[in-house]
Homo-oligomer: A and B are copies of this chain.
Amino acid sequence: MKLLWSPRSPFVRKVMILLHELDQVQSVELIRAVATPRGVPNPEIMAHNPLGRIPVLLVPDGEPILDSALICEFLARHFAGGDALVPSSGPVRRTQMRWQALGDGLTENLLLYRIEKTGASGGDPERLASLGAKIRACFSALAKSADKLERAPFGIGQIAVICALGQADFRFPDSGWRAGYPGLATWERQVAGRPSVKATGVKDDLAETGPSMDLKI
């Protein structure tokens, strides 16, 4: 199997954390691929995924798998031990899928905020305010779930949330979210020590100094 991969993508990171948790990193060949949301879509990605996004999982026996949630489900069913991370049914599935939806949705809103803000005009103020309100509401909802995130078995839900928080740290370093949501920050600090999380964070030498995002979370 081959994974279209980038070290900065929060959705690729979900797949990488899952592979580390399954102890299957060596089973997947990583192929560096950079999506270019503001330029021309990368033809190497488009050849496998018309949506022009990564991650994409290339499998020997079928069509490419296109979406981080579907890739994680596929890998969890393919390798031993996966059902604990991506439960197939029952209330545990519902909880994990809810957290995954919140984490992925938060990540999408953070990406949209950055795209808007870095546009030629500096972004539409109304749209930035709307995205900012949704981002803060997600943090608030996750903070209310901090106890449950800690107590529940670690799975795709917590993985998606960790990737969203990592994206906030990477692209919005001045947002101050830890001061606003100390319970969530405590949980994040515990999970940050997990080998799968530690191994997949954006390395310091890949961090870019971009324009200030001017977003308080």
CB pair A126–B39 under 8 Å, yes or no, is yes
CB pair B50–A130 under 8 Å, yes or no, is no
From B130, B138, B141, contact of A40 by CB (8 A): B130
CB pair B109–A37 under 8 Å, yes or no, is no
Chain A residues with a Cβ closer than 8 Å to the other chain, count: 46
CB pair A102–B66 under 8 Å, yes or no, is yes
A140 beta carbon closer than 8 Å to chain B: yes
What is the copy number of this chain in the assembly?
A: 2
CB pair B119–A127 under 8 Å, yes or no, is yes
CB pair A130–B74 under 8 Å, yes or no, is no
Chain B residues, Cβ within 8 Å of A141: 50
Give the CA-CA distance A109 to B51 in the complex, in Å: 8
Chain B residues, Cβ within 8 Å of A94: 62, 65, 74
| Known interface pairs A66-B101, A74-B94; A51-B138 also in contact (CB < 8 Å) | yes
A97 beta carbon closer than 8 Å to chain B: yes
From B91, B98, B127, B137, contact of A52 by CB (8 A): B137
Give the CA-CA distance A196 to B52 in the complex, in Å: 31
From B51, B127, B129, B138, contact of A102 by CB (8 A): B51
A38 beta carbon closer than 8 Å to chain B: yes
CB pair B124–A120 under 8 Å, yes or no, is yes
Chain B residues, Cβ within 8 Å of A63: 98
Chain B residues, Cβ within 8 Å of A62: 91, 94
Sample 15 A-B pairs with CB under 8 A, ordered by A number.
A37-B130, A40-B133, A41-B130, A41-B133, A46-B137, A50-B141, A51-B134, A51-B137, A53-B105, A73-B97, A77-B89, A88-B88, A120-B121, A120-B124, A121-B121
